[in-house]
């Protein structure tokens, strides 16, 4: 039986409670609306004083994104024992990737139709663009390279220059190649390099912990400054995002029922009875990892799956397969591109979708961990950091639907694989 990839434990970050973060956002939004509707010299002085503090916090967060992304990719690839994968592991990864690809393509099509049929009001989009601290993303000219140029430029000639220019896609490719090449290095030297990468990641997490201690105040400042410039349009855009992404996740979860019944040759009621208690736990904990014991019990007692299958497939799926990433991250990208008026070519959009979808296998298992894996992709497409932060702040409600989609996807993949393994037994 294949073993799971071994990685160093992720450092713990204590996140402020959702009530404190939402409280800070509400206070900032109320103060911003007042400053927008009834301008006064005192309000102007307050906003001019706190605006640099919010900009510094954003700059610090952006500074940590790149080294954290690179170090985590190197560590994950360098320590992954893919050479030990068995047929069962191959089945698991194959079905996980298949689910992610279908979910990503469907989300992009459905998201573009949704934004076309129910577009965000022009006033709201204008409000988001006014709220950008630096050069508005709408004014950024996105080139349309040829396929040859795009392929050649995937390999950076100067890593430092690519990092400084914010050209993150070639840097990601170089990091993946470096991590894969580590497997050919002698164990002692590979261990040394991986220890360095893990040390960089721990350093980033330590500084992140400091930044998130003041997250409610930073969100308050950012929202105050943004709303004072744009009015209440900012709030309507965030409400649109929360409702839309939650609806897409809920629909995807419901579609898993007939898909599992068809591909897994399982009665719809049996699958529903098996996943229901797990979904209740997911709703209350917002953690797929915390639901693993309940999933194992449901697979054994309620769904009658063979333990030789779910005993391996469920832990592997929980640690690597996050179905919500193909849906929520891609729609967040489409929403932010729409809000800020960023026009990107089809090749860049396709690369962004692929990168966000594959982040399912690299997202750290901690609250709001997706922000570290999705932010480089958003920035590479020209999306402002302000929009990324604000949409992640209002993620509490969508996060409930994300966790439910994840655990339902894990159970669905396990049920399907169990049926396929029965039909085609693994050789002893």
pLDDT given at position 406:
92
Tell me which residue of 321, 414, 305, 312 sits closest to 1, measured CA to CA: 312
Other beta carbons within 10 Å of 384: 26
For helices 268-285 and 292-301, the axis angle rounded to 10 degrees is 160
Predicted confidence (pLDDT) per residue in 240-284, tens digit:
999 999 999 999 999 999 999 999 888 999 999 889 888 877 876
Question: Phi and psi for 127 in degrees, rounded to 5?
Answer: -65, -45
Q: How far apart are CA 15 and CA 24, in angstroms?
A: 14
pLDDT given at position 344:
84
Long-range contacts of residues 420-427, Cβ cutoff 8 Å, at least 24 apart = 420/91, 421/88, 421/91, 421/306, 421/309, 422/306, 426/86, 426/87, 426/88, 427/87
Q: How far apart are CA 261 and CA 270, in angstroms?
A: 9
Domain limits, the chain: 18-423
How far CA 236 is from CA of 47, 260, 282, 350, in Å, comes to: 22, 37, 28, 28
pLDDT given at position 416:
92
CB 153 within 8 A of CB 170: yes
Assessment of whether the complete model's pTM goes beyond 0.75: no
- Three-state DSSP string of 189-249: HHHHHHHHHHHHHHHHHHHHHHHHHCHHHHHHHHHHHHHHHHCCHHHHHHHHHHHHHHHHH
- Using DSSP's 3-state secondary structure scheme, residue 14 falls into coil
Q: How far apart are CA 257 and CA 409, in angstroms?
A: 10
Q: How far apart are CA 3 and CA 214, in angstroms?
A: 40
Predicted confidence (pLDDT) per residue in 400-412, tens digit:
899 899 999 999 9
pLDDT given at position 261:
92
Q: How far apart are CA 331 and CA 361, in angstroms?
A: 18
Local confidence pLDDT in tens for the 428 residues of the chain? 334 344 444 445 555 666 777 788 788 888 888 887 787 777 888 888 888 888 788 778 767 767 876 776 677 566 654 443 345 667 777 888 899 999 999 999 999 999 999 988 888 888 788 766 444 443 333 344 444 555 556 566 666 666 665 555 566 667 767 777 777 778 888 888 888 888 887 887 788 778 778 878 887 887 787 777 666 667 788 889 999 999 999 999 999 999 999 998 889 999 998 898 888 778 766 677 767 877 888 888 889 888 777 877 887 787 778 899 899 999 999 999 999 888 888 888 888 888 888 777 665 544 455 666 687 788 888 888 888 888 887 777 788 899 899 999 999 999 998 877 653 433 33
Classify residue 341 as left (phi > 0), alpha (psi -120 to 50) or beta.
left
Question: Phi and psi for 378 in degrees, rounded to 5?
Answer: -60, -45
CB 59 within 8 A of CB 251: no
pLDDT averaged over every residue in the chain: 76
For helices 385-393 and 41-79, the axis angle rounded to 10 degrees is 90
In CATH terms, the fold of domain 18-423 is 1.10.3860
């Amino acid at each position: 039986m294949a073993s799971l990839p071994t990685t160093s434990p992720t450092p713990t970050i204590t996140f402020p409670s959702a009530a404190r973060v939402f409280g800070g956002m509400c206070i900032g939004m109320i103060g911003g609306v007042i400053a927008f509707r009834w301008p006064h010299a005192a309000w102007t002085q307050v906003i001019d004083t706190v605006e640099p503090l919010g900009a510094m916090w954003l700059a610090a967060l952006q500074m940590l994104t790149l080294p954290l992304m690179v170090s985590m990719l190197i560590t994950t690839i360098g320590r992954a024992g893919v050479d030990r994968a068995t047929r069962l592991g191959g089945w698991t990864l194959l079905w996980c990737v298949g689910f992610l690809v279908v979910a990503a393509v469907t989300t992009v099509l459905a998201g573009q139709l949704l934004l076309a049929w129910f577009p965000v009001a022009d006033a709201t989009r204008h409000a988001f663009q006014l709220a950008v601290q630096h050069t508005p993303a709408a004014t950024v000219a996105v080139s349309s390279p040829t396929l040859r140029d795009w392929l050649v430029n995937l390999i950076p000639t100067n890593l430092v220059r690519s990092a400084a220019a914010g050209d993150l896609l070639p840097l990601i490719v170089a990091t993946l190649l470096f991590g894969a090449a580590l497997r050919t290095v002698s164990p002692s030297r590979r261990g040394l390099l991986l220890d360095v990468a893990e040390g960089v990641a721990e350093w980033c997490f330590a500084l992140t912990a400091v930044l998130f201690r003041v997250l409610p105040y930073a969100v308050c400042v950012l929202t105050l400054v943004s709303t004072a410039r744009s009015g209440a349009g900012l709030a309507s855009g965030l409400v649109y995002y929360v409702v839309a992404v939650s609806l897409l996740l809920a629909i995807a979860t419901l579609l898993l029922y007939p898909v599992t019944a068809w591909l897994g040759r399982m009665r719809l009621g049996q699958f529903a009875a098996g996943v229901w208690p797990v979904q209740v736990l997911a709703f209350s904990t917002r953690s797929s990892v915390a639901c693993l014991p309940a999933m194992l019990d449901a697979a054994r007692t309620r769904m009658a799956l063979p333990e030789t299958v779910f005993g391996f497939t469920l832990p592997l799926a929980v640690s690597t397969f996050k179905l919500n990433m193909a849906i929520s991250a891609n729609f967040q990208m489409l929403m932010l591109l729409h809000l800020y008026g960023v026009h990107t070519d089809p090749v860049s959009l396709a690369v962004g979708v692929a990168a966000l979808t594959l982040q399912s296998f690299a997202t750290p298992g901690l609250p709001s961990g997706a922000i570290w894996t999705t932010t480089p992709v958003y920035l590479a497409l020209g999306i402002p950091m302000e929009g990324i932060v604000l949409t992640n702040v209002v993620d509490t409600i969508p996060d409930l639907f994300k966790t439910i989609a994840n655990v339902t996807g894990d159970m669905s993949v396990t049920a399907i694989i169990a049926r396929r393994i029965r039909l085609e037994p693994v050789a002893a």
